[in-house]
Structure 1
Amino acid sequence: MMLSGLMAAQSLSALRFHRALARPERAQAGCLSRVLAAVQGTAQAERVRGFPRVRTAREFQDAVPLATPDSVLADIEALKAGAPRVLTREPLLRFEPSGGSSGASKYIPVTRGLLSEFHHGLAPMLFDVLHARPAVRAGPSYWSISPIGRKQGRTPGGTPVGSVEDSAYFPRPLQPLLARVFAVPGAVALLPDVESCRYVTLWFLVARADLAFLSVWNPSFLSLLMDALERHGERLAEDLERGVCRPPVPDSVEVKEALSRMRFTPQPERARVLREALRLDARGSVLWPRLALLSMWTDAQAAHAVDAARRHFPGVEVQGKGLLATEGVVTLPLFAAPAPVLAVRSHFFEFVDPEHPGARPRLAHELETGRTYSVVMSTSGGLLRYQLGDLVRVEGFHRATPCLRFLGRADSVCDLVGEKLAATRVSHVLAATLPGLFGQRPAFAMMAPEWMASAPPAYRLFLDTDAPETRLEEAAHALENVLCEGFHYRYARELGQLGPLRVLRVTDGVRRYEARCIALGQRAGDIKPADLHRQPGWTAWFTQQGMPRS
């Protein structure tokens, strides 16, 4: 009944979205007008010559330069200090942390206008799930939006950093209803560590035999959650039976305070079912027989982890997510569309052709099927012509609006599980760390990701050096500490989605590197040194006995 009410609450926004799909140019013009109004009269607008006279997309492109996370850094710092009307006329609600390309982290300003734009994309997506898959309406959902285990803070100017409730991206009147629909209370996010978050999350999930929908971001998140179920299963069964919750971590004031906000009642029958599930391989099917849908990333690097997640839930349908960034929502999945559909009512979008980066970016209605583009967005949160660095390919059109498949990062970023490790960041870390450890930078030094058969993916640093093994271990520890200054890398490590960095010794590194680049299809004259190579498989290449002739 509650989910039917939720579907009804989203119906108007969904109707407007589906009407807009037939006329994307008109919908985008409306988004641009809204963005311009939000920025009018701000310090940002004053820097743009003739900004009050800008009306059309072409005028906007001619007047406002393309932006990057680095180019807006000064404005973000002013906002963090408490300065008003810097990017938008609206006051800030909070900052959301995200990964930076050249720095450790970046802060995205969130306003009511930006949240409204998120809702223009999330509401049609939620409506489509509830309408197209009625079984999802038969029970509660676990829908993870905000990161677990994340501590909130404030900027020097007093603005909150980070959200707690998953419902925070929806309008305030809907949030109490959403909180009742979620199987796991939002207070779980207040727990101070990942292990206790997982344990308490599992308590509430196992307690719901009628769970109908699981929505996570990276599929490895779900795999790690099920691994924790196996690790702590008997303890969890005892807690369910007694109606208590004892996370397997040392007691702390923060844990006790968070648990005091939740209610735990005896669940003897669910304890019995859990013990039965622990004896079987298909634990998810035993625990949640009504589970109808899994929602997760299925594109780009996340595709590697989908099968491992699905094995816990045989027979349950998987829906790939669209592209949602901290800065805004780019695409949303619809069951009737060939790929996630552009969030045409959310923000104003432009698309750069990587083959012609100097050309005028294309608008949504100008895209061509089969072509790849880099996404640029302008939002009511004050980011104008902001280059996300995400590559998408046009898979077709739903009505007249493009359907876009996420391919990965366009700005030399490695993103296995959401850590968003940029080549520029790696270059800075290596330059700052290696000379102090080895006297000078080794002749060959390169980081690359590795996918493991029975462990989380991780990074390896390959060094051509005669230094002792103890020095390599010191280097691994030092580099890991610096990389963990980045929000997303640290978060992936805390969740266990990403394994620790290790340093491996190589010999004849430059030549072996060149040989593999040639084997991968590059011409010898085009090969460039790389501090971060996004192709996995380098461990096997460097450790093999022989080496192909180049």
Structure 2
Amino acid sequence: MLTSRRMLSGLMAAQAPSALLFHRALHHPAQAQAESLSRILQATRDTTQATRAQGFSLIRTAREFQDAVPVSTPDLVLGDIEALKGGAPRVLTREPVVRFELSGGSSGASKYVPVTRGLLNEFHRALAPMLFDLLHSRRAVREGPSYWSISPIGRKKGRTAGGIPVGSVEDSAYFPRFLQPLLSCVFAVPGAVAHLPDVESCRYVTLWFLVACEDLALLSVWNPSFLTLLMDALERHGERLAEDLERGVCRPPVDPHPDPLPGGEGGVDAVLARMRFTPQPGRARLLREVLRSGFQGRALWPRLALLSMWTDAQAAHSVAPAYRRFQGVEVQGKGLLATEGVVTLPLFGAPAPVLAVRSHFFEFLDPEHPEARPLLAQELEVGRTYSVLLSTSGGLLRYSIGDLVRVEGFHHATPCLRFMGRADAVSDLVGEKLAATRVSTVLESLLPGELGGQRPSFAMVAPEWEAHAPPAYRLFLETDASDARLEEAAHALERALCEGFHYRYARELGQLGPVRAIRVTEGTRGYEARCIALGQRAGDIKPMDLHRQAGWTAWFSQRGTKHP
């Protein structure tokens, strides 16, 4: 414990200079953003993309930048990304690409995001003040080790045709190299866990180390349902874990329906051989007692001081189930962090996560006036919702990340932004233009009334293509409500969606079939398994009220669904 305290104090001290610069910048966001833009322009001059903008080398101001460089999207940069994957130099930036990270996979093919040293420095400009604020504001977090999301990667690490590495395993990869050994010393779970070949063994070994850690102080995950599934596994394998802790061994159970990870490196035994397991008889006894009395996290980890997780947009539905086992532990919502860059970071005392004003250059589109010039950070208005454009030293310029944020207030002079969902999450099979925001609103107002007062533990709408029938939407529900109630919920959803002109027109023309409800079991676990099969990392998977990928009926039927 003393070692952890010293390491965490050293970690806080290492972040202090960057945190000080960030807090000074909060008083002068326009100046900070001008400096960020200057750095990004320098990183992208004399590149292939710079030659496509007339007078790029003469750009000095934000307005000149907006006039010279068009708004970009993933599709528009695809050619440049392919050139980079092939090893071409100076395509987007003057710096070489050190690796690619994969983004997406939930509703289609993953995007390759180029990572440069400049981009990693920009990540650290946000992560350092966040980590400093966490350790400085919550002293109890410095009293013991932490669990920071280590998730199986769900896709094989490899190299592009040009020899550039693809993917990283741990969140610590976004911190400077000199800090990574320090971070590994305060982690309760070894990073090698991420190399296990299937989700269940990864969870089991993670739990072994977590239960063994009596002074655990922080649990940091991304999706709250990731924590729920982890604790479900603790209860499911509790006695086996207790036996293994008692003996100082680790025997992950064989999953009869494994969710294999293409990123797994070797078999379970090969990965376990890199780890050390020592007998923990006292922790084994405590685990048995806690499980007998109804599992609560504080009984197992009395020093646990903070849960860090997504709490906004659709993730909000998953917070209560995750918190059920951690009554009395403070929850801090995470900021908006994309693979392409950091938009906001949480600070204690701010009304919402604060814009990462020293990291990248930001612009904000008004969805109600998409033709208007995007606003700058200092021009935003409280209560308004905007779509984010991002420019980074990784070479993405005026890049639409598709996220909507609402201004909740200001911290000093810098806007505080709450993530509201995806601006581009629209399913359009036959012209119905069904938006995720609309589906979320309908489900939130409809399901509790239709299903006995509570929203189901899992609810999702997704399209389905069937032979000899028009495509249609399915409402997947995990609930004990009767079949009659499920059918009525499907009818109510259909009526609500028909209030939209495009959806109603598609139904009237017979281009779309009616909504049908499908009962699922272990919906969250099955959802996670398919998202991993689609290429996502387990810890990064976001819950969705509307998933645009088809094929969920067949997937859930393998795991025990029932059509009412």
Normalised by the length of structure 2, the TM-score is 0.77
What is the correspondence of 1:102-501 to structure 2 with a 5 Å cutoff?
Answer: 103-144=108-149, 147-148=152-153, 150-249=155-254, 253-412=266-425, 434=465, 437-439=466-468, 441-442=469-470, 445-447=472-474, 450=477, 464=513, 486-488=534-536, 501=552
Partner of 2:24: 19
Partners of 1:288 and 1:121 in 2: CA distance: 29
Structure 2 vs 1, CA of residues 388 and 373 (structure 1 numbering), >3 Å: closer, same or farther? same
- Is the Cα contact below 8 Å between 2:154 and 2:533 reproduced in 1? no
- Is the Cα contact below 8 Å between 2:155 and 2:535 reproduced in 1? no
Q: CA RMSD in A?
A: 3.4
Cα deviation for residue 149 of structure 1 reads 5.2
**17-26 vs 158-167, which moves further:** 158-167
Letter of the 1:438 counterpart: A
Cα deviation for residue 165 of structure 1 reads 2.9
* Identity rate, percent: 71
- Is the Cα contact below 8 Å between 1:375 and 1:392 reproduced in 2? yes
Cα deviation for residue 254 of structure 1 reads 2.5
Cα deviation for residue 267 of structure 1 reads 0.9
DSSP-derived class of the 2:43 partner? helix
Cα deviation for residue 281 of structure 1 reads 1.9
Structure 2 vs 1, CA of residues 446 and 162 (structure 1 numbering), >3 Å: closer, same or farther? same
Cα deviation for residue 166 of structure 1 reads 2.6
Letter of the 2:300 counterpart: L
Letter of the 1:487 counterpart: G
**6-15 vs 241-250, which moves further:** 241-250
- Is the Cα contact below 8 Å between 1:102 and 1:422 reproduced in 2? no
DSSP-derived class of the 2:319 partner? helix
Partner of 1:65: 70
Structure 2 vs 1, CA of residues 495 and 352 (structure 1 numbering), >3 Å: closer, same or farther? closer
Partners of 2:298 and 2:538 in 1: CA distance: 32
DSSP-derived class of the 2:307 partner? strand
Cα deviation for residue 155 of structure 1 reads 1.7
**321-330 vs 157-166, which moves further:** 157-166
Cα deviation for residue 295 of structure 1 reads 0.4
Partner of 2:506: none
Structure 1 runs (4+) greater than 3 angstroms displaced? 100-103, 145-151, 250-253, 447-454, 460-465, 480-486, 488-500
Cα deviation for residue 145 of structure 1 reads 5.9
Partners of 1:264 and 1:50 in 2: CA distance: 61
Partners of 2:543 and 2:286 in 1: CA distance: 27
1:88 aligned onto 2:139 = no
Cα deviation for residue 127 of structure 1 reads 0.6
DSSP-derived class of the 2:267 partner? helix
Partner of 1:473: none
DSSP-derived class of the 2:386 partner? strand
Structure 2 vs 1, CA of residues 452 and 83 (structure 1 numbering), >3 Å: closer, same or farther? farther
Cα deviation for residue 412 of structure 1 reads 2.2
Partners of 2:240 and 2:513 in 1: CA distance: 47
1:75-115 Cα deviation digits (max 9, x unpaired): 11111122221111111121111116984211111111111
User: Could you list the runs of 5+ residues in structure 1 that have no partner in the other structure?
Assistant: 415-420, 424-429, 455-459, 470-479, 505-541, 544-550
User: Could you list the runs of 5+ residues in structure 2 that have no partner in the other structure?
Assistant: 1-5, 259-264, 428-433, 437-461, 482-489, 495-511, 519-527, 556-562
Partners of 1:177 and 1:162 in 2: CA distance: 22
Letter of the 1:501 counterpart: W
- Is the Cα contact below 8 Å between 1:101 and 1:422 reproduced in 2? no
Letter of the 1:355 counterpart: E
**487-496 vs 81-90, which moves further:** 487-496
- Is the Cα contact below 8 Å between 2:314 and 2:543 reproduced in 1? no
Partners of 1:495 and 1:198 in 2: CA distance: 19
**35-44 vs 135-144, which moves further:** 35-44
- Is the Cα contact below 8 Å between 1:17 and 1:124 reproduced in 2? yes
1:37 aligned onto 2:42 = yes
Letter of the 1:291 counterpart: L
Cα deviation for residue 257 of structure 1 reads 2.1
Letter of the 1:502 counterpart: T
- Is the Cα contact below 8 Å between 2:314 and 2:544 reproduced in 1? no
Cα deviation for residue 225 of structure 1 reads 0.2
